[in-house]
Copies of this chain bind each other. A is one copy, B any other.
Amino acid sequence: MATPITPREHDFPRWYQDVITQAELADNGPVRGTMVIRPWGYAIWERMQAEMDTRIKEAGADNAYFPLFIPESYLQREAEHVEGFSPELAVVTHGGGKQLEEPIVVRPTSETVINSFFAKWIQSYRDLPLLINQWANVVRWELRPRLFLRTSEFLWQEGHTAHSTADDARQYALRILRDVYVSTMVEVLSIPVLTGHKTARERFAGATRTWTCEGMMGDGKALQMGTSHELGQNFAKAFGIQFSSETGTQEYVWQTSWGASTRLVGAVIMAHGDDSGLRLPPRLAPLEVVVLLVKDGEGTAAAASQIASELRSAGHRVRLDDRVDISFGRRSVDWELKGVPVRVEVGPRDLADGLATVVRRSDRTKQAVALAGVGPEVGSALTESQLSLLEEAQARMQDRTRSVATVDEAVEAVEDGFAVLPWEAVGVDGEARLAGSGVSVRCLQRPDGTLADADDEPGLIAVVAKAY
């Protein structure tokens, strides 16, 4: 706990790993590539889940649960899908002490099993749209694992929907992108994102179009934070999902799928963390405030406890830390590491003057406040921290995004952040050259940042970066 964190500028990947270890967010599991999410990390994920789950339900989707195990033959029904996922599969060959007749795949995603049920449940246009979401673990064998960002097992939500028209499906995919993902990332995680569609090379295996949210991390690299796919009728045809239309004809449904995962915890670490550890936006933080009893003294314990209970009554998530057998310094450092947005320090000296100290994690400013003013000061510290983290991340994205004209310039520019250039100047060949330098097209969008109507809309720009 007392080991210093590697400075962020010095070695970003080691800094990331140090923060995860010292803030007790996660650990490597015993099977290579797996992860243990420790209570603090999991509490952050639970809050992300709750925020996304509310938005998913507002978008009309119902939660359900489909099996972990999928017959290998299901994966093979959609050609691109099986090709995309085959190298990453975990395969169960023995069950209940016997060799299985057909090998079973541990779900890497659930399009195939869910669509086999959609085929059964959907008969008529009255059954549409069918809007389903599930919270689940999935497995994709990972050769170069990194905690939260790329693990062989991860937790996520995956939405799967069926619609009667291509336009309905598209509007729904975009609604999820905007009202679930962008909304959660910007308003809760305080991370600005660029949106656009993926190139054919980067598209989800089996999709006709993939919409994405891309955030910029503290080192200028991109992180794909959530994707929403139009699947066209690919899975509908592979699984025979047909409905009788209002005019009595038999039609294949149009579909979407969309997901966001525990990698968002990694995004928060990398977007906001500093050399003292994690910085959590208040709306996401499992604890908004820690009231720290500096040490026992005349009335300090009672005062700290009263401040904590007043803040709780005001609706905040609060912990009272009165563990005076551990040094104040060490406890402060630990709460800084864990990124709790506000600390209220209550010690004998301040208290004698009727004061307590309010410390903001975002900019590490401290302010002595009269006891009666603690509540309001904490309230503004929380509101302002939520916003200032977002503004800081926005400023970084602006500062570290360069407009360039050629693929070569892009390769140079992405050493510091994002590069933006006309998609016409890249093209499929340019994209392959970028890939040779470990650079990818993160998304295509219009020059004003809005979404294209069609993949081949003229004048689109490519956002290019190194990515996690």
A→B interface (CB under 8 Å): 27, 29-31, 34-39, 42-43, 45-46, 62-71, 74, 86-97, 103-104, 106, 113, 116-117, 120, 132, 136-137, 139, 141-143, 152-153, 155
Contacts and interface: CB of A to CB of B under 8 A. Distances in A.
A402 B149 CA distance: 59
Nearest to A35: B67
Contact of A42 (B34, B37, B64, B94): B64
A62 B37 contact: no
Contact of A29 (B37, B42, B67): B67
A59 to B, nearest CB: 14
B65 A29 contact: no
Nearest to A46: B63
A103 B99 CA distance: 13
A29 B96 contact: no
Contacts of A155: 65
B64 A39 contact: yes
A39 B62 contact: yes
A104 B31 contact: yes
Contacts of A153: 67-69
Contacts of A42: 62-65
A36 B66 contact: yes
22 contacts: A30-B67, A30-B71, A31-B70, A31-B71, A34-B67, A39-B63, A42-B64, A42-B65, A43-B62, A43-B63, A45-B65, A65-B155, A68-B137, A68-B153, A69-B90, A87-B97, A88-B96, A89-B96, A92-B92, A93-B94, A96-B143, A106-B106
Most B-side CB within 10 Å, residue of A37, A65, A132, A141: A65
A266 to B, nearest CB: 15
Contact of A74 (B30, B62, B97, B142): B30
Contacts of A96: 87-90, 141-143
A123 B152 CA distance: 29
Given A34-B68, A67-B35, A139-B68, A29 B113 contact: yes
Given A30-B116, A70-B30, A64 B38 contact: yes
Nearest to A112: B30
User: Considering residues A39, A62, A67, A116, which has the most beta carbons from chain B within 10 angstroms of its beta carbon?
Assistant: A67
A67 B117 CA distance: 28
Given A31-B104, A86-B97, A89-B95, 12 more contacts: A29-B67, A35-B67, A37-B66, A39-B63, A39-B132, A42-B64, A46-B63, A68-B139, A68-B153, A91-B93, A92-B92, A137-B137
A42 to B, nearest CB: 5
Contact of A36 (B88, B90, B117, B143): B117
Task: Pick from A31, A66, A113, A142 the residue with the most CB of B within 10 Å.
Answer: A31
A240 to B, nearest CB: 15
Nearest to A27: B117
A43 B74 CA distance: 27
A132 B43 CA distance: 12
A91 B95 contact: yes
Contacts of A37: 64-66
A6 to B, nearest CB: 22
A89 B70 CA distance: 17
A70 B74 CA distance: 26
Contacts of A97: 86-87, 89, 141
A91 B91 contact: no
B106 A66 contact: no
Contacts of A39: 62-64, 132
A145 B116 CA distance: 21
A292 B88 CA distance: 49
B92 A90 contact: yes
Contacts of A69: 29, 31, 34, 90, 139, 152-153
B91 A92 contact: yes
A64 B142 CA distance: 22
A29 B104 CA distance: 12
Contacts of A64: 36-39, 42
Nearest to A94: B91
A128 to B, nearest CB: 14
A95 B106 CA distance: 10
Nearest to A286: B62
A137 B64 CA distance: 14
Nearest to A61: B39
